[in-house]
Chains A and B, each alone.
Chain A
């Protein structure tokens, strides 16, 4: 791809100051998102996915959060992290929109869903109340909410989680953003609803031609929707590759572990294997390769920290094994 990416993240590091000391939630994360592309970010909970997503719109509360000086989030060439006030506000919701994991908590319980869509429109476009209302009703219709004119006046507690996530998508769409960041959009929903929401996301992405950053712990979702995948572990990117490559030739043992731990309906003879242990707390990352205490292939070299090695335009991996196999094939 030769066109400049719509979003470029360079060396993003985020730390939080807590009573128990500084927690490095995200450590030197870099990636690009091309126009119209769907990028999946995958990893277990606690590995820094959500903090990464929030940093894209500078939504990390500071303090206690701290985004390092070297971090850059270039949206259309402009560093979002250096923006303040009005300039930042004009990107949030208008050019880059977000939807969150828990739609029930993410909507204000004392405002009607219509008001919450309309206020977004009015925050960015010079339209009258009535026009904003009309547009909001169209949006509700577009995201598949039956009887939108009536639902405009509903409060969040009167609707199901799946419907509320549709409302969140309608809010995100209200200013036709260039990038939509979806942080675990289906995790809190029933399995049948999950598929509907993913279909909806895919549909609107085709229709509006926007980029989608989909953050999830669910590889099934990734396989279904993403063009390219970033695997995160313990605040770092450990692997990056095209979706087919990730599933056919996972390079990092962690990626392999994630894939092996997904039950496969099509291949019932497959043995499911869980990754032993769990993600270490962010206040206390292991030294060396952060995955090595849980890694079945760990060897003495893993005591020192491997770098994220690029191979080709869209692949990268952070593992001594991969470095050596590369060298062996050379």
Chain B
């Protein structure tokens, strides 16, 4: 209970009281929102416990890490409970005829965009898009990369060279260019397409890592022994190798989320992200760039959000790495 603080708990309680009406709406609303919130509610304490366990064992300097985890929880919480927290409907255009950018004020803490849409609400819903895309895509690419890398490392020979040369080629094309090539083929740009494309173009480095780890483990005694006693390749992968390479994969995944958020933001900025009206942080910046002078807050605020999120993931990833191999 060392990490339970009364102050944030009090704020949370106040929030619940202040927005009970929205909560009631939320509970009556679509099932998927509630499922998402439930999953996140379970994930938050699990994440905190794992991170603190890892760092407690190795006694890593953990003040920065605690700050990062707290920030992450706030972000994830905001994303999951967007319908409750957002003061306005992010897509609602108040009055098209009188639509105008409003500077930050009491009614609109972060101001509005050119269609008078509340920026704070768009940011909260944007967190949802940006975070879910990054998290889903990293899951896909880590799974794919680990599987292919381990297969390449364990089988060797032609399969290995084929996979590795393809990876060399894929890594030679700059990520954004590769994404542009793939996305230009698609007319649909819903969230699943973006996740799929980001995941399918993001597994190369993970595969290299997994292969290298497998190669260094392959000739160790416990694998040789398992193989000698007739254990199948699949079983060796699953039971003997995967647990041993899990740690570096967790680090890669955490750092990868940050990179994916940057890439997704870049794509959205180019107009290749999730299609309107659903805003991600990158597309809010895209929408605001024409108004850079008149309404600089539209561009400025999402940038801070992106940088903060990426920093959070970098800090967590590096702390975990430090905890796993101290020097």
Partners in one complex: yes
Q: Does B227 contact A (CB under 8 A)?
A: no
In the bound complex, how far is the Cα of B60 from the Cα of A19, in angstroms?
8
Q: 0/1 per residue, A4-20, Cβ < 8 Å to B?
A: 00000000000000011
Q: Does B10 contact A (CB under 8 A)?
A: no
Q: 0/1 per residue, B29-61, Cβ < 8 Å to A?
A: 000000000000000000000000000001110
In the bound complex, how far is the Cα of B59 from the Cα of A161, in angstroms?
39
Residues of B within 8 A of A20 (CB): 59
- Contact count A vs B, C-beta below 8 Å: 5
Q: Does B326 contact A (CB under 8 A)?
A: yes
In the bound complex, how far is the Cα of B57 from the Cα of A20, in angstroms?
11
B326 closest partner in A (C-beta): A19
**Chain B 52-101 residues near chain A, CB threshold 8 A:** 58-60
Residues of B within 8 A of A19 (CB): 58-60, 326
In the bound complex, how far is the Cα of B58 from the Cα of A20, in angstroms?
9
- What's the nearest-Cβ distance from chain A to residue B60, in Å? 8
B59 closest partner in A (C-beta): A19
- What's the nearest-Cβ distance from chain B to residue A23, in Å? 14
In the bound complex, how far is the Cα of B59 from the Cα of A295, in angstroms?
35
B58 closest partner in A (C-beta): A19
Interface residues on chain B, size class: under 10
In the bound complex, how far is the Cα of B327 from the Cα of A19, in angstroms?
12
**Chain A 1-41 residues near chain B, CB threshold 8 A:** 19-20
Residues of A within 8 A of B326 (CB): 19
A20 closest partner in B (C-beta): B59
- What's the nearest-Cβ distance from chain B to residue A22, in Å? 14
Residues of A within 8 A of B60 (CB): 19
In the bound complex, how far is the Cα of B62 from the Cα of A19, in angstroms?
12
In the bound complex, how far is the Cα of B225 from the Cα of A199, in angstroms?
47
In the bound complex, how far is the Cα of B326 from the Cα of A20, in angstroms?
12
Q: 0/1 per residue, B298-327, Cβ < 8 Å to A?
A: 000000000000000000000000000010
Q: 0/1 per residue, A62-84, Cβ < 8 Å to B?
A: 00000000000000000000000
Residues of A within 8 A of B59 (CB): 19-20
- What's the nearest-Cβ distance from chain A to residue B62, in Å? 11
- What's the nearest-Cβ distance from chain B to residue A265, in Å? 36
In the bound complex, how far is the Cα of B326 from the Cα of A93, in angstroms?
33
Q: 0/1 per residue, B141-177, Cβ < 8 Å to A?
A: 0000000000000000000000000000000000000
- What's the nearest-Cβ distance from chain B to residue A283, in Å? 13
Residues of A within 8 A of B58 (CB): 19
In the bound complex, how far is the Cα of B47 from the Cα of A245, in angstroms?
64
In the bound complex, how far is the Cα of B326 from the Cα of A19, in angstroms?
10
In the bound complex, how far is the Cα of B322 from the Cα of A19, in angstroms?
12
- What's the nearest-Cβ distance from chain B to residue A148, in Å? 39
In the bound complex, how far is the Cα of B60 from the Cα of A20, in angstroms?
10
A19 closest partner in B (C-beta): B59
In the bound complex, how far is the Cα of B327 from the Cα of A20, in angstroms?
14
In the bound complex, how far is the Cα of B59 from the Cα of A20, in angstroms?
8
- What's the nearest-Cβ distance from chain B to residue A104, in Å? 21
In the bound complex, how far is the Cα of B165 from the Cα of A18, in angstroms?
44
In the bound complex, how far is the Cα of B323 from the Cα of A19, in angstroms?
11
In the bound complex, how far is the Cα of B326 from the Cα of A291, in angstroms?
31
Q: 0/1 per residue, A100-142, Cβ < 8 Å to B?
A: 0000000000000000000000000000000000000000000
In the bound complex, how far is the Cα of B2 from the Cα of A283, in angstroms?
28
- What's the nearest-Cβ distance from chain A to residue B257, in Å? 27
Q: 0/1 per residue, A36-70, Cβ < 8 Å to B?
A: 00000000000000000000000000000000000
- What's the nearest-Cβ distance from chain A to residue B61, in Å? 8
- What's the nearest-Cβ distance from chain B to residue A102, in Å? 18
- What's the nearest-Cβ distance from chain A to residue B66, in Å? 17
- What's the nearest-Cβ distance from chain B to residue A278, in Å? 23
A21 closest partner in B (C-beta): B59
- What's the nearest-Cβ distance from chain B to residue A63, in Å? 14
- What's the nearest-Cβ distance from chain A to residue B8, in Å? 29
In the bound complex, how far is the Cα of B220 from the Cα of A109, in angstroms?
30
- What's the nearest-Cβ distance from chain B to residue A162, in Å? 31
- What's the nearest-Cβ distance from chain A to residue B57, in Å? 11
In the bound complex, how far is the Cα of B29 from the Cα of A44, in angstroms?
72
- What's the nearest-Cβ distance from chain A to residue B122, in Å? 44
In the bound complex, how far is the Cα of B280 from the Cα of A255, in angstroms?
73
- What's the nearest-Cβ distance from chain B to residue A55, in Å? 22
- What's the nearest-Cβ distance from chain A to residue B248, in Å? 21
- What's the nearest-Cβ distance from chain B to residue A105, in Å? 16
In the bound complex, how far is the Cα of B169 from the Cα of A282, in angstroms?
51
In the bound complex, how far is the Cα of B273 from the Cα of A241, in angstroms?
80
- What's the nearest-Cβ distance from chain A to residue B34, in Å? 44
- What's the nearest-Cβ distance from chain A to residue B226, in Å? 32
In the bound complex, how far is the Cα of B59 from the Cα of A214, in angstroms?
38
- What's the nearest-Cβ distance from chain A to residue B56, in Å? 12
A contact residues vs B (CB 8 Å cutoff)? 19-20
Question: Can you list 5 A-B pairs with a CB-CB distance of less than 8 A?
Answer: A19-B58, A19-B59, A19-B60, A19-B326, A20-B59
- The 5 closest A-B CB pairs, nearest first, are A19-B59, A20-B59, A19-B326, A19-B58, A19-B60
